[in-house]
Amino acid sequence: MTDVLRRGRASLAFGFFAQGVAFALLVTRIPAIQDRYGISDALLPVFLAAVPVLAGVGSVATEHLVKRVRPSRVLRWSQPLVLLALLGVGAGGQGRIAAVAVALGAFGLAVGALDASMNMLGVSLQRSYGRSIMLSFHAAYSLGGILGASLAWVGAHWGLALWVSYLPVVAVLLPGTLIGSRWYVDGRTAAAEDGAGGPAGGAVVFRLLLPLCLVMTFAYIGDSTVSNWSAKYLKDVLGSSEQLATVPYNVYMVTTLAGRTLGDFGVRRFGAAAVVRLGSLVAAGGFAVVALAPGAWVGMLGFTLLGLGLCVLVPQTFAAAGRLFPGASDAAIARLNIFNYVGFLIGSPLVGALGDTWSYRGAMLVPMVLVLVTLGYARSFAAQPDRYGGGHERPRTADVGRGSNGL
């Protein structure tokens, strides 16, 4: 059984990694996509908003789909669709807006199913392990994001066509994810293991899920603020060079990777609620430093703190939903995943509007306040069983469910 768990964990981590690469390759080449297809500045926001909206639709559809099909099968086929859609974005003919619209639409729908099913498997594997491992999966995603952004920089630096940049990546990741999917593990729900359902007899009670939805939204407002505005803020507000302005997001991604790599140890030792409280305080401190920074290097310190603080919130929110609704964790995660995209949709326009009408320094205080609100919901992360390790680890489950080979 231990080998089954280890293979399942390694294959799922590779799935997270592949998704990080694919998403970074898409979002970091938006200017090149706009130029290739002749998308106007007025139309670009519509295209960008359509992807998370359709991803939300994909997540909702996954909630209903996993009632009949195992999450491992949804993940097995949604990940190749994401990679092929990415290739489609780069392979369309010059100026063919309809072609890129279809490719981006397919990417959005598939990525919603992928994100939901991927986190469903992560939560069920964590339950089977009996200790916190969720942050390690998101660390793999961060590592993939760093690699994807680096590959995008290479493509932009050498003036490579989009399809030339995307094709080798898809050629490597597509067979890798298909092979790895053979070892995905669908763990049983806690209700099946322990003979107990979650709140309301295993149903998802939105009133109980709402605090986690808000935390997810606030975390992604903070994340989208960094990804969309860090370069502009450093250059236009703090007076950095154009080259230095590209550094904050890379620093943010590296510190996110570091925090997620070490975060599971903190959860096992101190509990999820304590880690979420600390992460919220560190992230709020990061936004305060950015807002008050007298120059570029102090601003860089603020973005470093943001990576260390925000990185723990999303993985632990998914894990908390699984603990809160042990009899319906898949449905809870699918619904919670929608607020990932809600935060992404709100964050960038919110900061931009406040920056234009007020000031960008002041705009940075808004996500700071929202992250601090997370402290009021930290108790939602302490639902039993809360702490793994440090004398609180429950015995590992003997039956980890069937691997996806048995589908």
Lowest-pLDDT range, 112-126, 202-216, 240-254? 240-254
* Residue 155 sits in the same domain as residue 260: no
Q: What is the pLDDT of residue 256?
A: 95
3-class DSSP state of 247: helix
For the chain, give percent helix, strand, coil, nearest 5. Answer: 80, 0, 20
Cα–Cα–Cα angle for 215, 217, 221, rounded to 5 degrees: 115
* Residue 126 sits in the same domain as residue 203: no
Identify whether 317 is part of a domain.
yes
Task: Enter the tokens of residue 75.
Answer: 């993940």
* Residue 204 sits in the same domain as residue 165: no
pTM: 0.88
Identify whether 393 is part of a domain.
no
191 or 171: whose pLDDT is higher? 171
Q: Tens digit of pLDDT for each residue in 379-407?
A: 889 855 444 444 444 444 434 444 444 33
Contact 128, 73 (CB under 8 A): no
Identify whether 289 is part of a domain.
yes
* Residue 125 sits in the same domain as residue 3: yes
* Residue 371 sits in the same domain as residue 293: yes
* Residue 141 sits in the same domain as residue 47: yes
* Residue 146 sits in the same domain as residue 287: no
Question: What is the number of domains present in the chain?
Answer: 2
Q: Tens digit of pLDDT for each residue in 82-103?
A: 999 999 999 988 878 999 999 9
| Cis peptide leading into residue 385 (ω within 30°) | yes
Identify whether 404 is part of a domain.
no
* Residue 87 sits in the same domain as residue 223: no
Domain span at residue 18 reads: 1-183
Question: Rounded to whole angstroms, how far apart are CA atoms 363 and 385?
Answer: 38
Question: Rounded to whole angstroms, how far apart are CA atoms 248 and 300?
Answer: 6
Average pLDDT, the chain: 88
* Residue 252 sits in the same domain as residue 323: yes
Q: Tens digit of pLDDT for each residue in 188-234?
A: 543 444 444 455 446 888 899 999 999 999 999 999 999 888 888 98
Identify whether 392 is part of a domain.
no
Question: Rounded to whole angstroms, how far apart are CA atoms 300 and 249?
Answer: 9
* Residue 234 sits in the same domain as residue 265: yes
Contact 277, 316 (CB under 8 A): no
Residue of 56, 36, 127, 141 whose CA lies nearest to 334: 56
* Residue 144 sits in the same domain as residue 246: no
Contact 5, 185 (CB under 8 A): yes
CA distances for 134 relative to 64, 158, 246, angstroms: 24, 37, 29
Lowest-pLDDT range, 62-66, 124-128, 153-157, 328-332? 153-157
* Residue 221 sits in the same domain as residue 308: yes
Identify whether 107 is part of a domain.
yes
CATH number at residue 49: 1.20.1250.20
Listing DSSP states for 29-97 in one string gives THHHHHHHHT--TTTHHHHHHHHHHHHHHHHHHHHHHTTTS-HHHHHHHHHHHHHHHHHHHHHSPTT-H
